Amino acid sequence: MILLVDDSRSSVNMLVNALKNFCRLGVSLNGEDAVRFARQNLPDLILLDIIMPGTDGFAVCDTLKADPRTRDIPIIFITAMDDLSHKTKGFDAGAVDYITKPFDITEVKSRVRTHLTLKLAGEALKNQNAILEETVRERTRDLRKTQIEVIDRLGKAAEYRDQNTGTHINRMSKYCRLMGKALGLSREEYELLDLAATMHDVGKIGISDNILLKPGKLDNMEWEDMRSHTRIGEKLLSGGSSRLLDLARVIAMTHHEKWDGTGYHQRLKGREIPLVGRIACICDVFDALISKRPYKDPWPVDKALAEIKKGSGEFFDPELVEVFLSLEPEIRKIIETHQD
């Protein structure tokens, strides 16, 4: 069930017509009724207007997130203002996404579909421990396969927005695995790193298409919006008990931190940046350089490797840069195996 909360009947009618074939719908025209409805019916997703008379959307979100019964229900804010401060406040309150008015029906359907899929995947991961306790030893291999499939689908939530990112995700995670192994991590650790790295950009599901797919340079406000994908990813991956999800959360939040402290969002410096974040940063930048993007052609591998070397000690951990460059033959094999 999806709960639609908006004091505008015309907006509600538009959303109902767009989503009525997805699943059952509930409607509330004010904040107080929305809280009561959510507690009684526990919807799978809430589309919540920010500006409403009486209890506004932020207050409704705070109330639901403070209640153990409703705190895990994903909330997508609806706003008529494309205001960065509103978006930031909304994400801080616990929202997973936002939709601006006037509605783009295709975008509404896409975001609703994505977050319903994420919720199902998250619930499956949270229930993993209970499943394992009830499963006999002979089914361990099947459960592992299921877990990998769930994680793969979660990682593809970002890929769904951009057809060019699929091979990037695969290559980038394999570079991370390769580096983890070279650094002496156990097999369990570098396999976890491989899986977790596929979710490094999952927060991009919260970035609008006109920014994510823009062929030219981003302006300052668009760039701020793009940078928020690390925070969105961290929020999406938080709250579970899975070691894998927690590792993915750390990577999502820290893979744009830089060795000299000029990265984002926490501006961590040097070894303040978790090891997995430092590994992911190098692997992500390298593969972004050799990949075709709406705003650039792919770089040759030699030029991209030279750029990584150039950033040693400034953008990247110098010790990890040496490790990465030493793995050039294996890196080239990964590139050949996972072509765009």
- Alpha carbon dihedral 140, 243, 189, 266, in 10-degree steps, equals 160
The amino acid occupying position 126 is K
CATH topology of domain 2-118: Rossmann fold (3.40.50)
CB 1 within 8 A of CB 41: yes
- Angle between helix axes 9-19 and 105-126 (nearest 10 degrees) is 70
Output the pLDDT for position 82: 64
Q: Say how far apart CA 92 and CA 62 lie, in whole Å.
A: 10
Answer whether 0.85 is exceeded by the pTM. Answer: no
pLDDT per position as a tens digit, 63-74? 999 999 999 899
Q: Say how far apart CA 188 and CA 169 lie, in whole Å.
A: 20
CB 111 within 8 A of CB 19: no
Question: 312 has which bridge partners?
Answer: 316
Q: What is the CATH number of domain 150-337?
A: 1.10.3210.10
Output the pLDDT for position 155: 59
All CATH 3.40.50.2300 domain ranges in the chain, comma separated: 2-118
Q: Say how far apart CA 157 and CA 185 lie, in whole Å.
A: 28
All CATH 1.10.3210.10 domain ranges in the chain, comma separated: 150-337
Determine the Cα angle at 232 with ends 279 and 5, to 5°.
165
Least confident of 93-102, 133-142, 254-263: 133-142
- pLDDT tier for residue 162 given thresholds of 50, 70 and 90: low
DSSP string, 234-294: HHHT-S---HHHHHHHHHHHHTT--TTS-SSSS---GGGS-HHHHHHHHHHHHHHHHS-BT
Q: Say how far apart CA 78 and CA 221 lie, in whole Å.
A: 19
DSSP string, 86-141: HHHHHHHHT--EEEESSP-HHHHHHHHHHHHHHHHHHHHHHTHHHHHHHS-GGGHH
